[in-house]
């Protein structure tokens, strides 16, 4: 018997913390109620009228969390993928609203939709990544606000039903291709490559060193330094004027010079805390920033990943994301280069991986026109 796979909707997944909090509240309330009742009954001097008034209040507070918990669970949606019965079940709360036989679905698509959340002070757009099918265009089989999780959901459906999967870019993969590293997929056409080049003002460079390719960066914008300095100065003033005044330890309370030990400790502590933002910015600017593409893996400050584990590479909010079934690597480009060069760096990384994995030169190598 194979295990059923459950896919909650994105709202239910994000409500796990409130549900856990409600369970804790319910437990604490029940324990408090029985404890109070035990003490109240055992206390001979306690007026029965007081018990008559307070005990119902405790009962009400015990019931309210159950009602709230029921509201959460009754509105939640989920999809159950059952390999034993060869069916896909759609549930809303405890009610099954629809089901499909595996034979009714011949393919899946990755898609997305957006909605706007408005609050008192601002609005934000939520992107929800979905798994749908042309055979049931109005049904969302699985969804998540995390694109990596949504991608894994889509592959799970396609593998379980042994159907094709089409990405948002329109790339269709058959079931046997889903676990292939991206550089081994059939149908990819590559011409003879040219070495990536970057504009001088990008502070980026491409070099080959000891059978590895390096994408290096000397990106160190003065704007970030200015922002870091301003934050450090403001932090120092706030710490001294607010906390220093409250504790009577800032310079306005010095009665002698040098001041006493606690005033010196406070001054030194505020200086160290205030230096954190500007030190962080300078550290990011001066440290060695490299993406190393060796024969079998990519290495970056955030970690490393073997090429055979990579099934997809894409850009996501300034990160190069390398996706695999069991492992994902995010390479942040925020302090690596200006955002206008993000695509060029991704292409260079893609080119390096293809060249190392499929051989240098020939029709199996990649060609990318990066910034020149």
Q: What is the distance between the alpha carbons of residues 236 and 1, in angstroms, rounded to a whole number? A: 63
**Mean pLDDT in residue range 217-225:** 87
Residue located via tokens 């509240």:
25
Please give the C-alpha separations between residue 137 and each of 105, 109, 111, 134, in angstroms, as whole numbers.
Answer: 11, 10, 11, 5
**Mean pLDDT in residue range 174-183:** 84
Q: Rank 12-26, 52-66, 221-235 by mean pLDDT and report only the highest.
A: 221-235
Answering whether pTM is above 0.75, one says: no
- What's the pLDDT tens digit per position in 86-97? 999 988 877 888
- Which positions ≥6 away from 292 have C-beta within 8 Å? 212, 213, 214, 298, 299, 300
The rounded mean pLDDT for the chain is 79
Supply the pLDDT for residue 133.
93
In this model, does residue 368 exceed pLDDT 50? no
Supply the pLDDT for residue 35.
57
Q: Which residue has the higher pLDDT, 316 or 25?
A: 316
Percentage of the chain surpassing pLDDT 90? Answer: 18
225, 219 in Cβ contact below 8 A?
no
**Mean pLDDT in residue range 329-357:** 88
In this model, does residue 229 exceed pLDDT 80? yes
């Amino acid at each position: 018997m194979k295990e059923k796979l459950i896919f909650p909707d994105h709202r239910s997944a994000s409500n796990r913390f409130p549900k856990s909090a409600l369970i804790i509240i319910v437990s604490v309330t029940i324990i408090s109620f029985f404890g109070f009742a035990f003490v109240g009954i055992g206390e001979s001097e306690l007026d029965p009228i007081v018990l008559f008034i307070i005990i119902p209040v405790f009962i009400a507070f015990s019931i309210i969390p159950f009602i709230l918990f029921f509201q959460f669970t009754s509105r939640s949606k989920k999809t159950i993928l059952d390999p034993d019965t060869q069916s896909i079940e759609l549930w809303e709360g405890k009610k099954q609203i629809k089901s499909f036989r595996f034979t009714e679905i011949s393919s899946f698509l990755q898609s997305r939709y957006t909605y706007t959340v408005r609050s008192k002070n601002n609005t934000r757009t939520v992107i929800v990544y979905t798994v749908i099918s042309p055979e049931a265009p109005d049904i969302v089989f699985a969804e998540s606000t995390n694109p990596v999780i949504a991608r894994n959901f889509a592959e799970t459906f396609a593998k379980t039903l042994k159907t094709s999967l089409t990405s948002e870019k329109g790339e269709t993969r058959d079931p046997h291709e889903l676990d292939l590293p991206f550089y081994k997929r059939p149908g990819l056409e590559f011409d003879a490559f040219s070495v990536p080049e970057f504009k001088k003002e990008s502070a980026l460079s491409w070099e080959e060193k000891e059978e590895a390719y390096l994408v290096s960066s000397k990106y160190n914008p003065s704007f970030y330094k200015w922002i870091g300095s301003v934050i450090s100065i403001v932090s120092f003033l706030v710490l001294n004027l607010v906390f220093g005044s409250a504790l009577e330890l800032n310079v306005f309370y010095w009665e002698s010079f040098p001041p006493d030990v606690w005033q010196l400790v406070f001054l030194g502590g505020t200086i160290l805390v205030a230096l954190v933002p500007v030190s962080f910015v300078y550290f990011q600017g001066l440290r060695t920033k490299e993406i190393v593409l060796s024969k079998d893996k990519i290495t970056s400050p955030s970690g490393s990943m073997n090429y055979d584990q990579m099934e997809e590479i894409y850009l996501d909010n300034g990160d190069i994301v390398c996706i695999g079934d069991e492992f994902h690597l995010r390479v942040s480009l925020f302090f690596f280069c200006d955002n206008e060069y993000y695509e060029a760096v991704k292409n260079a990384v893609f080119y390096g991986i293809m060249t190392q994995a499929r051989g240098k030169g020939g029709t199996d190598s990649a060609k990318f026109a990066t910034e020149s």
